[in-house]
Amino acid sequence: MAIVALLIVQCIISESQQSGVSSALFLTTDPINADVLLDGEPLEEQTPLLLRVLEAGRHDLEVRKQGYRTERREIEIAAGEIRTVVIELASLSFSPVLPEEQRVIIYGAEEGDGDILYQLPEGNYSFTREKGALRIEPIFPQDGWIRGLNMAIPLSLGFSTVLCLHDIFYPKRAALEFSENFSLSPASLSAIGLSLTLISFDIVLYAGRAKAKSAFTYAATPREQALHSAKEYYDRAENLLSLGQLEEALRFYTRVLEGYKDSPLYPNALFKTARIHFLTGEDSLATIEFNLIADHYPLPDLFDKAQRGLADILLRRGAYRESIEQLQHMVLADPLYSEEEIELLKAEIREAWFGDDPSIIDEVIDAYGALIHRYSDSESVDLYRYKAAYYLHLGERDEEAKELLETIDPAALDEDLMRRIQDLRRSLEAVR
């Protein structure tokens, strides 16, 4: 009866924890480190980010990053849903593929030799070769109009002059009289007005082009520092890691971390670095790196792994309760983990804790009792029953242990578990 009461209590606790379920949103961009507005309000975090407490319903997202087009999304999220949104940002510049030239001159500035990646603002350009150099000149939107006006204005002024001379030599009463012997005809006035309009328009265009010229900028980056180069280093690190060459792999992951902070591979390289440090016993470094992922680079396929990594480090240090609490931060967005698996892990941590502190035996029993109740249809439920019965026996609650063992179906057991249950039953019989 005590077991039944325990399970009822566990059911009540579980249901109370599930009430008022909120939604969660993983948002990442390519490249990362973009600013985000949620429903018009700026967020402190940059991408990638995790919003753990998000009201169900419709939300507006706006993503901004210098040098890239602003992207807007409207999402609908259900209560309790864990949603992932990935946004690729379109660059406002482009990288032309240039032939191998000894010299490159961009807008009058000569660039150095070497394998350089140029990022130019979107627009029209002229490419000309002269004396072994490739000259790149931007074509501003005003250029076409200015060229046209440079041809039209002299013609208009010439036509206006002819009409005015005609009015001087052949005076007659007209629209505008300056004196008794001089006046301008309507045609002359119209021609002058047209010329002045064209000149005014030309001045405005020249001012606009001057502003565009002063704002024109471009980037010249060594090709090995371009974002796409991060993949080359990351792939080399992955190959070395698969061969077990941890130190060499770490060197290439570090190249990604040091030179490509906006690359979408940065969080993955950080996680692999943390794992290598964990495997080599450098727990302090691994803790810092796992925390960086959880706090600043929470990708949906890395966040839970980082929390698990932190829990494993705490467990290795003997900080059992802190390890269990760390697992509570998982959102289970990664399909690698299930809720049942993590609850079982918490129970196993309590088992290890019991080895150092037998006074927490009731916590171990409660943990396996909760597993029995919540996952009654699980293939592992008989294992949970055995574990709960085993610790009930250690806690001198033999009648409850026997009652629990009676619920186990022998036909569903493997040989190892059957043997362990038989040993436990013999121990219980010996107590009599």
161 and 309 share a domain? no
pLDDT recorded at residue 156: 87
pLDDT given at position 142: 78
Q: Of 108, 124, 139, at which residue does a domain stop?
A: 139
Residues 260 and 387 in one domain: yes
**Across the chain, what does the average pLDDT equal?**
85
For residue 376, what pLDDT is reported?
Answer: 92
Q: How many domains is the chain partitioned into structurally?
A: 4
How far apart (Å, rounded) are the C-alpha atoms in residues 29 and 38?
Answer: 15
Mean pLDDT highest for which of 167-181, 271-285, 418-432? 271-285
Same domain flag for 297 and 422:
yes
Residue 26 has pLDDT above 50, yes or no: yes
pLDDT tens readout for residues 359-400 = 999 999 999 999 999 999 999 999 999 999 999 999 999 999
Residues 292 and 247 in one domain: yes
Which whole number is the average pLDDT over 333-359?
95
Residue in the structure block whose two tokens are 């005590």: 2
What pLDDT, on a 0 to 100 scale, did the predictor assign at position 205?
A: 85
Query: Coil, strand, or helix at residue 81?
Result: coil
**Are 28 and 121 in the same domain?**
no
On whether both 232 and 108 belong to a single domain, the answer is no
pLDDT at 185 over 80: no
Strand partners, 35: 64
pLDDT digits (tens, 9 = 90+) for 57-75: 999 999 999 888 899 999 9
Residue that is last in its domain, among 185, 215, 245:
215
Residue 125's pLDDT is 77
Q: Which residues, at least 6 apart from 155, have a Cβ–Cβ distance to it below 8 Å?
A: none
- Looking at the structure, do residues 329 and 395 belong to the same domain, yes or no? yes
State the residue range of the domain holding 54: 23-88
| CATH number for the domain harbouring residue 331 | 1.25.40.10
For residues 316 and 277, state if they share a domain. yes
Q: Kindly state the average pLDDT of the residues 154-160.
A: 87
Q: Return the structure tokens found at 293.
A: 């992922």
Indicate the pairing of strand 103-106 with strand 133-139: parallel
Measure the CA dihedral 385/387/392/396, to 10°. 130
At 432 the pLDDT is 60
Separation CA 314–CA 297 (nearest Å):
21
Tell me whether residue 10 is in a domain.
no
Phi, psi of 170 (to 5 degrees): -130, 70
Do 93 and 67 touch, CB atoms closer than 8 A? yes
Residue 29 placed within a domain: yes
Considering the chain, what percentage of its residues have pLDDT values greater than 90? Answer: 57
pLDDT of amino acid 140: 78
The confidence band for 20, taking pLDDT boundaries of 50, 70 and 90, is very low
Same domain, 34 and 74: yes
- C-beta of residue 332 within 8 angstroms of C-beta of residue 338: yes
C-alpha torsion 186→189→191→197, nearest 10 = -140
Are 97 and 187 contained in the same domain? no
3-state secondary structure labels for all residues of 236-264: HHHHHHHCCCHHHHHHHHHHHHHHCCCCC
| Structure confidence by residue, pLDDT tens digits, 211-242 | 877 777 766 665 555 667 889 999 999 999 99
CA distance 303 to 3: 36
State percent of the chain over pLDDT 70. Answer: 85
Please, is 420 exposed, middle or buried when counting C-beta atoms within 10 Å of its C-beta (0-12, 13-18, 19+)? Answer: middle
Cβ atoms of residues 253 and 273 within 8 Å: yes
Q: Which of 215, 238, 258 is the last residue of a domain?
A: 215
The residues pairing with 119 across neighbouring beta strands, listed in sequence order, are 219
Per-residue pLDDT for 94 more than 60? Answer: no
Are residues 166 and 235 located together in one domain of the fold? Answer: no
CA quadruple 191, 196, 200, 201: dihedral, nearest 10: 0
Q: Are residues 35 and 121 in the same domain?
A: no
Query: Which CATH number is 76's domain given?
Result: 2.60.40.1120
Least confident of 37-41, 67-71, 145-149, 406-410: 145-149
Identify the residue whose tokens are 């940059």: 46
CB atoms under 10 Å from CB of 185, counted, come to 19
